[in-house]
Structure 1
Amino acid sequence: MAYRVQGVVVREKDAPATIETVIVPDPGPGEAVVDIITSGVCHTDLHYQQGGISDDFPFLLGHEATGRVSAVGEGVTEIAVGDRVILNWRAVCGQCRACAKGQPQYCFNTHNATQKMTLEDGTELSAALGIGAFIEKTLVAAGQCTKIDEESDAAAVGLLGCGVMAGIGAAINTGEVKRGESVAVIGCGGVGTAAIAGAQLAGATTIIAVDIDDAKLEQAKRFGATHTVNSKNEDPVAAIQALTGGFGADVVIDAVGRPETYKQAFYARDLAGRVVLVGVPTPEMQLELPLLDVFGRGGSLKSSWYGDCLPSRDFAMLIDQYKLGRLDLDGFVTERVGLGDVEASFAKMGDGTVLRSVVEL
């Protein structure tokens, strides 16, 4: 029996996000239906609305979510009805060349549900990041569900489903920040602030937050920044070098994803340092760097995919750190809103006045 539920849909590029009736099918083999509890309003959802991800409209928005499994399909053994879960967009296949090399965090063939959710007239919906969580119930591949405990605040831990995990993972997994190292993070939105929290968790002793907004820089201190740089008022490369003995940071994380900020990251790192790109560029952006500088500065230039995380490993570990008081996930939840508030939350995101709005159902 299919389910008729309410979900947030955007029908065409730059159209408003509206609440629509969505038909969710019974789960097929390897699939699960999940009752959504919370879903963070992530910048990626706004990118979908703006046509920056693809033109596969209409989209069912939302992906940074917690929920409770309400039905499972044939062959599903890793989760059961009643389980409380975080949804993820890295359902490891176990068979691709990355998995075969023992690197499932890079799985190149992650699973989504085979069936499609639809509008009442039968129009198939594209679920954001294969999840579609601004909805009362959603259909996902069972591997997209990571079981969690019952005690933690769903709104807080659900943010591990995307943005917070991307930032923390950019520091810990991709950047491999070590105890005593220096880290600079360019861009202090949700992902950048999470990278700062990740650097602190990893034991960095100098953590430099860079942004053009003083309020964001002040907020970054709460999550572990030891120094701040307003790049509207001073050259961030020179400032980062000055704060690291004239050398540059061991790791510089670009959480903006623009050519200008990437160049800042490139030149603000120490010799043999690491640059991590976790901010998402748009398709038209181009980067030019002198190849001799790329060679001469050594080190590594890395891109971070979802914080290079393995949900089955990282979610539980980070929730434990949260429960121990070492990771302030609660601090990322700026406001709690309803399904009908998604469009307003997008506007606040553009204003830079929230870390995360979280939809509660």
Structure 2
Amino acid sequence: MSHEVRAVVAMKKDAPVEVTTILVPDPGPGEVLVSVQSCGVCRTDLRYREGAVGGGDGFPYLLGHEAAGTVESVGEGVTGLVPGDSVVLAWRAPCGRCRSCRRGRPWYCFDSRGAQRSMTLLDGTPLTAALGIGGFAELTLVAAGQAVKVDPAARPEAAGLIGCGVMTGYGAAVHTAGVRGGDTVAVIGCGGVGGAAIAGASLAGARRIIAVDTDDTRLDGALRFGATHTVNSLGTDPVLAVRELTGGCGADAVIDAVGRPETYRQGFAMRDLAGVLVLAGVPDPGATVTLPLLEVFSRGGSLTSSWYGDALPSRDFPVLVDLYLRGKFDLGALVSETLSLHEVEDALARMRAGDGGDAPRSVVTP
């Protein structure tokens, strides 16, 4: 049996997205059908619309991947989930069998699970679900491992953000950078990912957290998440500012939540000796960066990337929801507005124009 539901689909490259009726099948073995309650509008959705993800070969795309909802039904062999459970959807579901999982690094799983049955247009055309989720829909089909059970007391509009931007930023600070008590941290870009990185660094006990952005509104938001200092890089050299705020030394950890060559070079120069630079923002295809190799060698430390915050969703999502419910992590502050499915194109257009970026988040409630 298939279900006819409304959904937001990108039919072709750079064309406005459409709200159309799609077919969502009942779950097969190892799958879960989820009634979507909320889904954040992330910059990655815009990249799908522009054809910048997957080489543009997957059209039509069913957009949306930062979602929370309730389990509608489960397929054969699914354990630990029953209809009515509150879940946050993850775009990484470790297989447990690949060489990375076997080596104890499931966050780098090389065979992440996804639904095996396709959601389609009414004419049977298969849809590519964004990051294996497709959350801009009234119902979506995912692998059971993608549906992480969380406390139902969490507001879906806030909890859903954990599924992408919040996990990416928080994990970049806590898991990838390994921020510890007393550390100095600089975060470049204070959108959804950067704000979560600041919150993660604060929760980890960082002594000084320097937020760098070109927008005073986002910098004000950074203070709410735990930043101790802010730098508007439009009128100030951010590298000099960070060094002045750290006694000339630089930061123990720098998180680039923007992912542009110029911000990466700034982050490299902001590090203290033996400091870590974490790339958490997704670069544009074809972006390159040149660094002085002698400084790469002589400054020590590490240059690394954080893919989804080195997340293990089954471990991390419930923890983040608990922090939210205990008032330790104000996820609600990231939600600026709730939209209908018909307003997704407007939100993507604003994002493309640079009006407000991706934080605070617009959240779709199908």
1:33 aligns with 2:33: yes
**Residue 82 of structure 2 aligns with which residue?**
80
Aligned partners of 1:222, 1:166: CA distance in 2, in Å?
Answer: 19
Counterpart Cα distance in 1 of 2:92 and 2:245: 37
What one-letter code is carried by the residue in structure 2 that aligns with 1:95?
R
Give the SS at the match of 1:344: helix
Give the letter for the 1:59 counterpart: Y
* Equivalent position to 2:360, from 331, 335, 355: 355
Q: Secondary structure at the match of 1:351?
A: coil
Q: Which residue does 1:281 correspond to in 2? A: 283
Q: Which runs of 4+ in 1 moved over 6 A?
A: none
**Structure 2 residue 13 is matched with structure 1 residue 13:** yes
Deviates more, 1:1-10 or 1:218-227: 218-227
Once the two structures are superposed, the pairs formed by residues 3-152 of structure 1 within 5 Å of their partners are: 3-54=3-54, 55=56, 56-152=58-154
**Corresponding residue of 2:265:** 263
SS of the equivalent of 1:334 reads: strand
Partner secondary structure for residue 314 of structure 2: helix
Look up the match of 1:316.
318
For residue 340 of structure 1, what is the aligned residue in structure 2?
Answer: 342
| Displacement after TM superposition at 1:298 (Å) | 0.2
Query: Counterpart in 2 of 1:172?
Result: 174
Match of residue 243 from structure 2: 241
> Which residue identity lines up with residue 216 of structure 1 in the other structure?
R
Amino acid at match of 2:67: A
What percentage of aligned pairs have identical amino acids? Answer: 60
Unmatched tracts of structure 2, length 5 or more = none
Q: CA deviation at 1:348?
A: 3.3
**Code of the aligned partner of 2:155:** D
Distance 1:347 1:356 in 2: 14
Q: Distance in 1 between matches of 2:122 and 2:326?
A: 46
The aligned residue for residue 233 of structure 2 is 231
Residues of 1 paired with 2:165 and 2:285: CA distance? Answer: 20
CA–CA distance in structure 1, aligned partners of residues 245 and 363 of structure 2: 36
Is contact 2:151–2:321 with CA below 8 Å preserved after alignment?
no
Measured after TM superposition, the shift of residue 152 of structure 1 is: 1.1
**Any idea what SS the aligned residue of 1:48 has?**
helix
Q: For 2:277, what is the secondary structure of its paired residue?
A: strand
SS of equivalent residue, structure 2 residue 338: strand
Please report the RMSD computed on the Cα atoms of aligned residues, expressed in angstroms.
1.0
Q: How far apart, CA to CA, are the structure 1 residues paired with 2:323 and 2:5?
A: 35
Q: What is the TM-score normalised by the length of structure 1?
A: 0.98
**Number of equivalences:** 361
Q: TM-score, normalised by structure 2?
A: 0.97
- Structure 1 gaps of 5+ residues are none
Q: CA deviation at 1:337?
A: 1.1
Letter matched to residue 253 of structure 1: I
